[in-house]
C-alpha cells in the first residue's frame, strides 16, 4: 500500500509540473504495485492510462508499459496474451 501511495504522490507532482514521462513512469510503478497486490483490474487501468500519455522517448516508454502488461497477464495466468505483449 505504501508503494501505491508514494507513486500516487509522485504522479500528482509530475502532473503539476507537466512532466509527461514521469507521469507515465509513475503509472507504471503503481501498476506493478497493484499487480503485486493481485489487483489486476486496477493495474490494467493504470497501464491503459500510461499508454495514452505522450512521451519524449515514446518507444522506450511503450516498451516498459508493454513489459508490465506482460507481467500482468502472466500473473493472471493468461500466458498467450503475456507472450503477445512481449512481442510488441
Q: Enter the DSSP assignment of 24.
A: H
How many Å apart are CA 37 and CA 7, to the nearest integer? 14
How many Å apart are CA 11 and CA 30, to the nearest integer? 9
How many Å apart are CA 23 and CA 14, to the nearest integer? 5
pLDDT tens readout for residues 27-80: 999 999 999 999 999 999 999 999 999 877 888 888 999 999 999 999 998 877
pLDDT tens readout for residues 2-12: 877 888 899 99
- Contact at 8 Å (CB) between 46 and 34? yes
Query: How many residues make up the chain in this entry?
Result: 88
Amino acid at each position: 500500500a505504501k508503494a501505491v501511495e508514494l507513486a500516487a504522490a509522485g504522479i500528482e507532482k509530475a502532473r503539476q509540473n507537466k512532466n509527461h514521462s514521469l507521469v507515465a513512469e509513475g503509472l507504471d510503478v503503481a501498476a506493478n504495485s497493484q499487480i503485486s497486490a493481485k489487483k489486476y483490474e486496477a493495474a490494467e487501468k493504470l497501464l491503459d492510462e500510461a499508454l495514452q500519455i505522450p512521451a519524449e522517448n515514446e518507444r522506450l516508454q511503450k516498451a516498459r508499459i508493454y513489459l508490465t502488461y506482460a507481467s500482468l497477464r502472466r500473473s493472471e495466468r493468461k500466458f498467450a496474451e503475456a507472450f503477445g505483449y512481449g512481442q510488441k
